[in-house]
Each structure stands twice: as structure tokens, then as C-alpha cells.
Amino acid sequence: MNTFSSLYNLLFDQKTFFAENVPKGLKIPFLITAVYAAVSALASIPLLGDATALVPAELSGVVIGSGIVSAVIMTFVTWVFVSAMFFACLKFIGYAECSFKEILAVCSYVSVILIISAVLTTLVWFIGTAPAILLLALQGVFLLWSIPVWYFGFASVCDIPAKKLRVCVAVPVIVMALFSLMSLIGA
């Protein structure tokens, strides 16, 4: 299967994607996450530019540099944390037979959707300051778009009944949605 049709299936026909591409190893998942980390770091530059106005001019490079490094590191930390959250649910709620490495691989495929999210969010910021509720709605759309990737990805690597799998995907998704909502309220 060629790359374009695989990408199309990952974005719009996740069941077919994971039926044809059961995750093996972490080479491709790491690469996908690294690309997302780079896009995320580049997308943070306009926001970091605004932050440099608050510090002396000689420190602006330090602010931008540390912000970019932080964005890359946090991308990988978030990948591991979200994978661990799903892994815990799959093991403790679903009693699934799978390894953390397999769950880590599946969770990395969501980074393709997050790349699209980062690009769109950056474009929104270039247009003007978006209301927080609009950004929250945009996050919600991309979170909902990620659910089939997790569901069919976990189904391809775990031996778990569909009902338990739905619960194992729903719990972390609800936690992520609440975290986003609480971040908006706190801002």
C-alpha cells in the first residue's frame, strides 16, 4: 500500500488502516511523533515572540530557544503519558493482553491528526486572537477525530471485547476533555 492511501486511511478509515498496518516496533511511531514535535515547536514560535516582549531584548533568544526545546520535550512526555493512561485502562478495566510498546505505537498515530490541529491553530492565530471557546471547540473536534484511531488501533493489538474497549477508550478521552475544559476555566 502506498503512503498516500495509508495516510488517507489513517485519517478517514482507521479500521482499514489498522487492519493493513498493525503497529510493529517504535521506529515509525517515533518518527511520526518527532515530526509532530517539530511542527508543534514551529507553531509555538509566534506565541513565544509575544512572550519576548515581556523580557529584556538580550534574553529574547533564550526565551524562544527554551520555549522550542520545551515544546519538543513536552510532545514526547505527553505521548508517553497518554499512552500510559490508555495502557492502565486497557490493563485494569479491560484486562487486555498487550504491551506498553504496542499502546505507545498506536498512540503515536494520533500525532498525524495533531499535526493538522497545530497547523490550523497556528493559522487561526495568524488571522487574529481567537476566542478561547473557539480554540476549545477546535480541540474538541480533533479529540473526537482521534477516538477511532485509538479504538481501532487498540483493537488491532489487544485481545479485548468491544464493550470493554469502548470503556477503555472513553475514560481517558473524558479525562482529556475535562483537562481541556479546566484549562480554559483557569485561563
Q: Which pLDDT tens digit goes with each residue over 17-73?
A: 999 988 889 999 999 999 999 999 999 888 787 778 888 888 888 888 999 999 999
Average pLDDT, whole number, for the chain? 92
DSSP-derived secondary structure for 3-29 = HHHHHHHHHH-HHHHHHH----SSHHH
C-alpha–C-alpha distance, residues 174 and 180, integer Å: 10
Cα Rg of the chain (Å, integer): 18
Question: What are 157-184's pLDDT values in tens digits?
Answer: 999 999 999 999 999 999 999 998 898 7
Is 185 strand, coil or helix? helix
The letter for the amino acid at 69 is: V
Confidence of residue 81 (pLDDT cuts 50, 70, 90): very high
Task: Please name every residue paired with 97 in a beta bridge, in sequence order, or none if there are none.
Answer: 159
Q: What is the mean pLDDT of residues 129-138?
A: 83
Question: Could you tell me the pTM of the whole model?
Answer: 0.92
Question: What pLDDT is attached to residue 105?
Answer: 96
Question: What pLDDT is attached to residue 111?
Answer: 97
Question: What pLDDT is attached to residue 1?
Answer: 53
Q: Are 187 and 135 in contact (CB under 8 A)?
A: no
Q: What is the mean pLDDT of residues 101-129?
A: 91
